[in-house]
Structure 1
Amino acid sequence: MNFDPHWSWEDAARRGGVTADGTYNASGIALPEQRAIIWCRTDGSVIELSGAQIRNQVMQLAARLGELGVGRGDRVAGMFSKRPESLTAALAVWYLGAIYVPLFSGFSGDGLRVRMDDSQPGVMITDSVSEHLLDDVQADFPDLARIVVDADGPIFGDVDTSIGDYAPAPTKADDLATIMYTSGTTGKPKGCLMPHDIIIGLSSYITHALALQPGEVLFSGADAGWSFGLFTTGLAPLSAGNPRVIYEGPFKATEWWAVMDRSGAHHLAAAPTAYRQLASGGSDAIPAGFTAASSAGEPLDAPTAQWFQDNADVTIYDCYGLSEIGMVVGNLRTPGAPPPIPGSMGIALPGYDVEILDDDMNPISGIGVGRLAVKDNGHLISRGYWNRMPEWEARFHADWFVTEDLVRRDEDGRFWYESRADDVIVASGMNVGPSEVETALMAHPLIADAGVVGIPDPVKGTIVTAHVVLNGEEPADLHNILRAWVGERVGRHATARKVVVWDELPRTASGKLQRVNLRQALIDASLEAPDSPESPMSPDGRNSKQ
């Protein structure tokens, strides 16, 4: 099903600025000239940056990086709170032809150390809110230089005309620009290799699914340490001429609506978890200017989609993508496309061939359930895994990138999410690799064995649950102990909402953890909601902590 049979990647590349010889630097994307980045502070103030200010400040930051010896091919990490530099730091690194390594500001301890050890950045750009997270890992990276930006840093001030013309390094479109880490079920997080033309790779999504109108202002709370925040709802819509709102505060339904109101934002892009939380806050605070919504990152449930239709007269256009491939399936705003049905992921975006495969990797025609697979069209937004190319190559069957997601195709060609074929947990729109959390848990002296799985939750979509075997007696505050331990070593997003104590975890004869049995035990035990004050019984008859 294709609602733009004339879509051409070559035309998209040309429109995006790729030259005939393939020269292209992502820091040269077009930017809105008047209002580009709109930063809403928690004190109620609003700071706006024009395209000219952004380019000038990119050159200022690039100059500081140059003074530290950063050049073509060097790796520079960035870790920020919600502020403009979370986007502009990437532009400054690319401006020099260097490689940007975005890191989620929720990482800490080993969660940060593992990614830095793998990518080996020479410089870290951060802010005063996030800088303390480096204190626990700095000893492991004695040569790491820091650039700390803050309210009085280079992002502010008038345009300095003495700096000169904006002249990015003459990189090629397929040169490496970004190493973006994503979680998996086994081993360490994998660094997706993203080239300079990643914005071109997202152009079908920007044109047909997000489909912002000229001048339409986009607000997203997505963190720029992930692809959805940095690229999909960040630099890609900016390159299309649409202002992007950044809110520095934590999520709160009334605050998000207030930010949209005072920034003039019309379009909200967020994970379904955020929409569920917005809906639970009621409809009284919804601003009149809210007219459009997009979602991605986890399945959008039909009741939440219907709530926004009924209470805001806004249809949420849900889409599907991965850091490896980009946004490939979605509900399209293209004239003539089938209207969204609550709960459906939509159809293949123009420019992509999408199939479902059975267990033998054969295509399933018509109605059916199978692995979602995307044909390599030369414009997948990642081209490999950093230092782990055999694992990248193993993701392919012939020319098809085979995902770990099981989907159903209906009689109209729409796709519906069923489940993950692997064990990655998508909690509040963020991937949590169970192996990474298990490794952290096993490092605690209380834990003799550990297993981590996700279970459905009506608000979060999925929550992390930890199943442990203890060394000795169970302390009364086990749950809090383990939450703090994992939060320090992996990040708060990966901490368990439920902890279940076992005498022995279910494993196969070869020692492989049987995660399906962990999930089934939770179902059988009928564990209560995460915020319940009571302690339900674990599968072995002992108390589980919430």
Structure 2
Amino acid sequence: MSSGDVPASAMVSAWQGIESLLDRNPFGDDFNTAHEVCSRYASEPERIALTVRHEDGSADLWTYHELDRIASKAARVFADAGLTRGDRVGGLLSRQVESWITALAAWRSGLIYVPLFGGFASDAIGTRLRAAEVRAVVVDQDYRPALADAQSTYGLDPAVFVVGPDIAEAGDKSFWTETSNADADGPLATTTREDIATLMFTSGTSGTPKACKITHGAFVSVMPYATSVLGATGDSVLFSTSDPAWAYGLYTTGAAVMALGVPRVMYSGKFVPEAWHRVIEEEKATILTTAPAALRRLTTTFADRGVPPSLRTVAAAGEPLTASVAADWAQAGAPVVRNGYGLTEIGMLLGDTLGTESRTEPGCLSSVIPGFATFLADRDGTPVEAGEPGLIAVRRPRHQMCSGYENTPSLWADRWRGDVFVTEDRAVVDADGRWQVLGRDDDMIIASGHNISPVEVENALLQHPAVAEAAAVAYEDPVRGGVVRAVIVRNESLYSDNDLAADLKRLVALRVGPYAAPRVIDFRADLPRTEVGKLRRAAVRDLR
């Protein structure tokens, strides 16, 4: 179905089916994320929740019982540090168990979790910590220097708990020493599905990144994706490669899957195709979730080493899946990629759902996710004519991820047209109901699964004395896929183009993060602008 005219009975039935999988009534007065995704299974001491694989081949196994107990101890640590219900605790972490312990501890005790990507530079960290008014941070020791710079620049003084053997800053405490010594009696708050559980920043094209208020009922919104696209069942093992600093890692392939009692696997090391292949094979993973950029590099490894026999489902999201990547992957003998589309504000809206295999096609999405009335609209939220491109829109669903932007409430209101949420993504639907996402309407850059604000990149570029003007846009590289392209107007200087390009890549990596560093840099005499001087980004993208 490709319009918003989904029968009300079908919508109700879809959500009732999902709600029947929960332990408590989501519309009741006691509904908590930590309970639904962990504590409810804690009475089964042998039930595996998470396996963390490391670069040296070792593995740490965590049961639901163990996670629940350590989260209770961590909640006691936060309480003893003076945090009370509604306070914010940050996690400057990565694909490691501490991300989940910190999140669970916050959720169960009524604190608000603020996940931060380990690849952020100090400015990005400081901006978000200040906007969220974070009172405590759990930080991996690898990211402690960036946090220290952010604290100094932005005048921040949170309680800091370091994961790792070294304590470099005065006043820091060891996360594991504190939790080991604490009693497992941390506060247990009574929350409802409307209460805020997480504050997650999603970058926009201008101004401060938007602080999405993710509620305790948010994970329910992505459970239909977990069941209808991932096909997660009791005998599944899911290898989740997305960082839990983002919604896809923390909720879509994290909390929603844990709520089903499905064991998950994470890899703590850097992306190496051969290492991922080994993890899938040795852990007997049945589901792989990743970004298309990773599939591009995994294809050769799977072709050379064979497809692990346990693997049944491969799902991609986070950036457009091109037909060429999907076709090359299928030729390696791997399961056909199940494409998905969603956004932090609402949840996963489109995907290659079970039962629609006959109309799947590389680069397209075969169906609307059950429970959502998704359609194409103009900016006013009015459905477009059949066959015409439009903005992806969705009628207010029974469950959604976000309840608003904490720091920009007017922008949240602007995204709604009555009960219709209009995204900034343009798509078209063919006669067979297949969706093709054409690109972001708001100029957001999507590279290697990361949403990158062009303004953040441009602000970093303009710090260089040899740069007079700068524009950052998306660019489709034939090898790397989606990357950042920078178009620069130079000041007179002694820098050669090559030397300046190298400097600019380092500068963006330092100020925003390595993932945002431009892969393509061009130099021009001027940038295309409107009569009033506004940058014409579409024209910048068309520059050759």
Contact 2:360 2:434 in 1 (8 A): no
What is the Cα deviation at residue 461 of structure 1? 2.6
Contact 2:51 2:62 in 1 (8 A): yes
What is the Cα deviation at residue 359 of structure 1? 5.4
Deviation string for 1:425-484 (max 9, x for gaps)? 110111111011111222222222111111112343311011122222252311221111
Distance 2:478 2:233 in 1: 33
Distance 1:8 1:81 in 2: 34
What is the Cα deviation at residue 379 of structure 1? 1.7
Match of 1:23 among 22, 30, 44: 30
Are 2:262 and 1:242 aligned?
yes
Partner of 1:489: 511
Distance 2:159 2:225 in 1: 37
Distance of aligned partners of 1:390 and 1:142 in 2 relative to their CA distance in 1, 3 Å threshold:
closer
Q: Secondary structure at the match of 2:501?
A: helix
Are 2:251 and 1:231 aligned?
yes
Number of residue pairs aligned between Structure 1 and Structure 2: 520
Contact 1:190 1:385 in 2 (8 A): yes
Distance 1:361 1:138 in 2: 42
Distance of aligned partners of 1:319 and 1:247 in 2 relative to their CA distance in 1, 3 Å threshold:
same
Are 2:467 and 1:447 aligned?
yes
Distance of aligned partners of 1:110 and 1:201 in 2 relative to their CA distance in 1, 3 Å threshold:
same
Aligned-residue RMSD, C-alpha: 2.4
Are 2:146 and 1:146 aligned?
no
Distance 2:511 2:183 in 1: 45
Are 2:326 and 1:312 aligned?
no
Q: Secondary structure at the match of 1:284?
A: helix
Contact 2:444 2:452 in 1 (8 A): yes
Relative to the length of structure 2, the TM-score reads: 0.90
Distance of aligned partners of 1:349 and 1:142 in 2 relative to their CA distance in 1, 3 Å threshold:
closer
Partner of 2:530: 508
Contact 1:257 1:287 in 2 (8 A): yes
What is the Cα deviation at residue 364 of structure 1? 1.9
What is the Cα deviation at residue 366 of structure 1? 2.7
Distance 1:336 1:516 in 2: 35
Distance of aligned partners of 1:141 and 1:161 in 2 relative to their CA distance in 1, 3 Å threshold:
closer
Distance 1:26 1:174 in 2: 11
Contact 2:393 2:422 in 1 (8 A): yes
What is the Cα deviation at residue 352 of structure 1? 0.6
Distance 2:520 2:60 in 1: 40
Q: Secondary structure at the match of 1:136?
A: helix
Distance of aligned partners of 1:102 and 1:88 in 2 relative to their CA distance in 1, 3 Å threshold:
same
What is the Cα deviation at residue 383 of structure 1? 1.0
Distance 1:408 1:275 in 2: 24
Contact 1:40 1:263 in 2 (8 A): no
Partner of 1:137: 150
What is the Cα deviation at residue 338 of structure 1? 4.8
What is the Cα deviation at residue 337 of structure 1? 6.7
Partner of 1:528: none
What is the Cα deviation at residue 156 of structure 1? 10
What is the Cα deviation at residue 23 of structure 1? 1.8
Are 2:378 and 1:364 aligned?
no
Distance 1:137 1:6 in 2: 47
Distance 1:281 1:193 in 2: 40
What is the Cα deviation at residue 149 of structure 1? 2.2
| Structure with the higher helix share, 1 or 2 | 2
What is the Cα deviation at residue 280 of structure 1? 4.0
**Letter of the structure 2 residue corresponding to residue 503 of structure 1:** A
What is the Cα deviation at residue 14 of structure 1? 5.5
Are 2:504 and 1:498 aligned?
no
**Letter of the structure 1 residue corresponding to residue 55 of structure 2:** T
Partner of 2:88: 75
What is the Cα deviation at residue 289 of structure 1? 2.4
Partner of 2:200: 180
- Bigger Cα displacement from structure 2, 502-511 vs 63-72: 502-511
Contact 2:139 2:161 in 1 (8 A): yes
Partner of 1:287: 308
Distance of aligned partners of 1:323 and 1:30 in 2 relative to their CA distance in 1, 3 Å threshold:
closer
Partner of 2:344: 323
Distance of aligned partners of 1:292 and 1:336 in 2 relative to their CA distance in 1, 3 Å threshold:
closer
Partner of 1:95: 108
Q: Secondary structure at the match of 1:309?
A: helix
Distance 2:436 2:494 in 1: 42
**Letter of the structure 2 residue corresponding to residue 76 of structure 1:** V
Structure 1: gaps spanning 5 or more residues = 523-546
Match of 1:467 among 477, 487, 497: 487
- Bigger Cα displacement from structure 2, 286-295 vs 348-357: 286-295
Calculate percent identity across the aligned residue pairs.
34
- Bigger Cα displacement from structure 2, 485-494 vs 279-288: 279-288
Q: Secondary structure at the match of 2:528?
A: coil
Distance of aligned partners of 1:266 and 1:459 in 2 relative to their CA distance in 1, 3 Å threshold:
farther
Deviation string for 1:231-276 (max 9, x for gaps)? 1111211111111111111111111101112222121000111111
Structure 2: gaps spanning 5 or more residues = 167-173
Partner of 1:105: 118
Structure-to-structure mapping, 1:344-383, within 5 angstroms: 344-358=364-378, 361-383=381-403
Deviation string for 1:375-404 (max 9, x for gaps)? 112422111111211000101122111111
Match of 1:433 among 453, 459, 466: 453
**Letter of the structure 2 residue corresponding to residue 293 of structure 1:** V
Relative to the length of structure 1, the TM-score reads: 0.90
